Amino acid sequence: MSSLEEKLRHLSGTLRAAQPATAPPSRAAGGRCVERRSRVDADTLCGGMAAYASAETLEMVGRVPLADFSLEKTVFLDTETTGLSGGVGTVAFLIGIGFLQEDSFVVEQYFMEDYDAETDMLHRLCRRLANFDTLVSYNGKGFDVPIVNSRSIVNRIRQPIASMRHIDLLYAARRLWKARLGSCGLQNVEREILGFAREDDIPGSMVPMIFFDFLKDGDMTRMEGVLEHNRMDIQSLYTVLCRLCRDVALPLEQPEPADRYSAGRILEAAGRSADALRCYEAAGEPYGPALRARALLLRRSGRADEAAYCWKRLLEQGMFGAEPYEELAKYYEHTRRDDALALKTVEECLLKLRLLGLEPLDSLVKRRVRLTQRMKQGRTM
């Protein structure tokens, strides 16, 4: 027990360290940075939807200002890492980028065979990124970019990635499809929106393990699966981007009410109220969220009567709790100047809340007091 090594061994038991492996042979030098390049016909990826990916549409989809945008100067990026902890010690061992070149979509992958190739890999990425001005990723803002940036700092490389214009498709996909899909993970979007399922794909959670195994035995068999997984991800980025643009450009052609509504929200946020309104209408009155969005937009546009119509419909559908009552009460009180009707609406709502066993809302109670008083005194103006 006197040697340091024995003490460490004993301690490791209490520390729950990983099981001691047989000592690997010492490595004077580890690996190189391997580059892979593949190209596919760009049109097969986007199915003719590329035309919709205009700067104007993309700005709405990505909520990023896109002056002087061109698809040719856009790079798609995805990494595979040694873990998800997101701290400095998480390494991106594979960085894949994709871009358009003539009629092709090219995927270039930089894979470090061992840690000593990381600097070289990051340098190559750095040089390559200089050709582009816009970055497209899926959850890259929260994950890939911080990791690449972090590892570049550790390797003392000035990496442009953190300051590049960045469209994170995860957020865009959520804006458009979350109402319908719930989870907007890339694979789920592929399956539910693009309608294809990957075969023999490696689950993301296995990736770090496969890399650590590769470091031990140098066997590329399973690592090839990771490279393929990464390549598919990058190609999907392009497809998803085009699809998002098309769905926002042609919102009325969406069969699902939820998608029409979501497209409307995106248009409304971009200031295109008339188009948004058309989307909400197209979503159909039975789809409550669209009806409510329509009511709010109409009210803001000064079209109080039409808004009131929507609130009445919502009230009939029994949706959104007290809100339609309150909105109608406001409408009766301020627009129609019919205090009796306003009070009746407030009373109805309070009754409904009481029947449901819920607390009366302060705002309703205050409104009732005010209306009751004024009805006693009569309107002064």
Partner 1 sequence: MNITQWLTRFRSDPTTAQNITYWNTIPAREAVYAPFPDWLDGRIAAALQKRGVTQLYSHQAEALTAVRAQHDVCVVTPTASGKTLCYNLPVMNAILEDDSARALYLFPTKALAADQVSELYELIREAGVEIKTYTYDGDTPPAARQAVRQAGHIVVTNPDMLHSGILPHHTKWVKLFENLKFIVIDEVHTYRGVFGSHMANVMRRLLRLCEFYGSHPRIICCSATIANPKELAESVCGREMELVDRNGAPSGEKHFIFYNPPVVNEMLGIRKSAVLEARKITTDLIVNRISTIVFARSRVMVEVLLSYLKELVKTRLGDSDMVRGYRGGYLPTQRRAIEKGLRDGSVVGVVSTNALELGIDIGTLEVCVLCGYPGSIASTWQQSGRSGRRQGISATILVANSSPLNQFMVQHPTYFFHQPPEYGVINPDNLYILLSHIKCAAYELPFVDGETYGGKPVTEILSFLEESGMLRHVGNTWHWSTEEFPASEVSLRAAGEENFIIIDTTTPDHQVIGEMDRFTAPMLLHDDAIYLHEGKQFQVQKLDFENHRAYVKSVEVNYYTDANLAVSLRVIDTFKTKGEQLQTSLGEVVVTAMTTIFKKMRFDTHENIGFGKVKLPHLEMHTSACWLAMGDEIWQGMQPSEIEGALVGIGNLIANLAPMYVMCDVKDISVYPQVKAPFTQQPTLFIYDTIPAGMGLSDRLYEMQEQLLKGALDMVNECPCPAGCPSCVGTDGADKHMVRKVLERLCALEG
**Interface with partner 1 (CB under 8 A):** 1-2, 4-5, 7-12, 14-15, 17-21, 23-24, 26-30, 82-89, 91, 114-116, 146, 149-150, 153-154, 208, 212, 215
Kindly tell me the burial class for residue 155, based on how many C-beta atoms sit within 10 Å of its own C-beta (0-12, 13-18, 19 or more): middle
Other CB atoms closer than 10 Å to residue 371's CB: what's the count? 21
Give the span between the Cα atoms of 280 and 257, in whole angstroms: 8
Please state, in angstroms and as integers, the Cα–Cα distance from residue 350 to each residue in 259, 321, 328, following that order: 34, 11, 14
CB 98 → partner 1: shortest distance, Å? 26
- Closest by CA to 266, choosing from 60, 53, 66, is 60
Least Å distance, CB 87 to partner 1, is: 4
User: What would the two tokens of residue 15 be?
Assistant: 């520390």
CB of 207 to partner 1, least distance (A): 10
Shortest separation between residue 1's beta carbon and partner 1, angstroms: 5
Q: Of 82 and 236, which has the nearer Cβ to partner 1?
A: 82
Between 14 and 377, CB nearer to partner 1: 14
**C-alpha–C-alpha distance, residues 61 and 134, integer Å:** 14
Between 5 and 102, CB nearer to partner 1: 5
Min separation Cβ 8 and partner 1, Å: 5
Task: Find the length of the chain.
Answer: 381
**Which one, 15 or 355, has the nearer CB to partner 1?**
15
Minimum CB distance to partner 1, residue 61 (Å): 24
In the bound state with partner 1, the residue whose beta carbon lies nearer, of 151 and 367, is 151
Residue 115 or residue 309: which is nearer to partner 1 going by CB?
A: 115
Angle of CA points 174, 179, 183, to nearest 5°: 55
Q: How far apart are CA 50 and CA 374, in angstroms?
A: 61
